[in-house]
Structure 1
């Protein structure tokens, strides 16, 4: 025989190298659909919620404060009344949830 067993095993190595990357690619695809994509969706929804803030909305901040939006500023801040006569300035991105929305004024 002219072909030794060592040469015969090396011939199939090229296809085996590519096949070893398939599980890594599958793991990345699974992580994308189960971790990365849902997180991007949540970030997009939160940004839309923050952009839609308006005066009179009841909100919960990430610190747990519940209050009513008094003023929405353009520089990324909002003024929230947490008790009668007690107003605080919060960064709009720290608003975790809008409890109740106000209806827009009808003209």
Structure 2
């Protein structure tokens, strides 16, 4: 009778291991992957909506106003005489009226 009980215990252990892996993946997905995808979609929408005159900040911390933009480049006016060219993806955020 001992021999019959062992396979049943091993099968239960195998199923619980699979269930634990699935549960860990689900937690990992909902806590890490999904929020990152959401932030990435929001950033892509913000990048697509850029327009001349927007006050922005880059990932390097540089504040400027968009004076020209193409499909992949953005020209920022930093002060009266300085214009810098960045890739569109380098824009971190568009500042609203209160942050200007």
**Residue 62 (structure 1) aligns with:** 59
**Residue 26 (structure 1) aligns with:** 23
- By how many angstroms is 1:24 displaced? 1.2
Q: In structure 1, how many angstroms separate the alpha carbons of the residues matched to 2:90 and 2:68?
A: 15
- By how many angstroms is 1:7 displaced? 3.5
When Rg is computed on C-alpha atoms for both structures, the one with the higher figure is 1
Structure 2: runs of 5 or more not aligned: none
Relative to the length of structure 1, the TM-score reads 0.83
**Residue 87 (structure 2) aligns with:** 91
Aligned-partner SS, 1:100: coil
Aligned residues: 97
**Residue 75 (structure 2) aligns with:** 79
Q: In structure 2, how many angstroms separate the alpha carbons of the residues matched to 1:41 and 1:34?
A: 12
The answer on 1:17 being equivalent to 2:14 is yes
Q: Alignment RMSD, CA only?
A: 1.4
Which aligned segments of 4 or more residues in structure 1 are displaced greater than 2 angstroms? Answer: 11-16
**Residue 104 (structure 1) aligns with:** none
